[in-house]
Amino acid sequence: MAQSYKTAIEFGLVYIPISLHACVKSHDIGFNMLYKKTKQRIKYRKTCENCPANISSDDIVKGYEYQPGKYVTLSDEELEKIKSPKDKSIAIVEFVRQSEIDPIFYDRAFYAAPKGADKAFLLLLKALEEEKMVAIAKTVLGTKEQLVCLRAENGKMILSTLHFSDEIQEAPALKSSQLSKTELDLAKNLIKNMASHFQPEKFKDEYREKVIKAIETKISGEKITAAKKPRAPKNVISLMDALKQSVAETKKSKKA
């Protein structure tokens, strides 16, 4: 989905035009692929067995392989034609408690802003906030039907795309192990010692900073030196010892 998108919320007979804006921006460092010997940029050509030398984007269509080597093509106009009016808007289906949605279902998040019908937008926002409910809706984004969740958060409307249940894979089977009460108590104490409040601003992408520093080092003509090795772990011979030492260390840190 694009970084911004125009659509509308359908709430009963209420129609609220909105725009969606991505909540998250990427800070990924982009590397280009270069030919090792000449350091020239690698370019990718669109080609096929019986294609001309140069193919423009206008010459490319979407194709679905329904049999090996056989394709049916669908243009953007044809895909747009099959959308019903409801597919083009965000049609609310039901309201649920947010706690009922397992976080594994969440995908991408967008801020929703009204583009007219401001009073209706604010009414829905306030109602969701005061009832502590979220709206479950369906829409088509691009060529994919999407399940979405609308929630009110600190005076903002946030739309999150959700995975369908058949997209969620089963977790690998967990082997059962016998746990002693002492081990469980130690694990609980370790959790208590490390307990805090989530403050996202205190977490930084440290590896990204190291990559930027490495780039600057190379630009200045210097060599990159290896990172210092971490302190060797203490000789732990059992899970019980590991828990005891961890509890003792975190207890000291908490007091400090």
93 in Cβ contact with 137 (< 8 Å): yes
Q: Are residues 113 and 240 in the same domain?
A: no
Query: Within this chain, do residues 247 and 186 fall inside the same structural domain, yes or no?
Result: yes
Task: Tell me: do 147 and 101 sit in the same domain.
Answer: yes
* Residue 115 lies inside a defined structural domain of this protein: yes
Are residues 218 and 107 part of one domain? no
CB distance 18 to 121 below 8 Å: yes
Cα end-to-end distance, the chain, whole Å:
47
Same domain, 147 and 192: no
Tally of structural domains, the chain: 2
Which residue is listed with tokens 């009414």?
123
Residue 17 sits in the same domain as residue 119 = yes
Answer yes or no: do 123 and 250 share one domain.
no
| Same domain (yes/no): 237, 122 | no
Distance CA 134, CA 192 (A): 32
> Are 99 and 14 contained in the same domain?
yes
Query: Please, which residues have CB within 8 angstroms of residue 95's CB and are 6 or more apart in sequence?
Result: 128, 131, 133, 134, 135, 136
Domain span at 220: 181-255
Q: Does residue 249 sit within a domain?
A: yes
Whether residues 19 and 91 share a domain: the answer is yes
Per-residue pLDDT of the chain (256 residues; tens, 9 = 90+): 456 788 999 988 899 999 999 999 888 888 999 999 999 999 887 888 788 777 888 888 889 899 998 999 988 888 777 776 666 789 999 999 999 999 999 999 999 999 989 999 999 999 999 999 999 999 887 667 899 999 999 999 999 999 999 999 999 998 888 889 999 999 999 999 999 998 989 988 888 898 888 889 888 988 888 878 776 666 656 888 888 888 898 888 877 7
pLDDT at residue number 1: 43
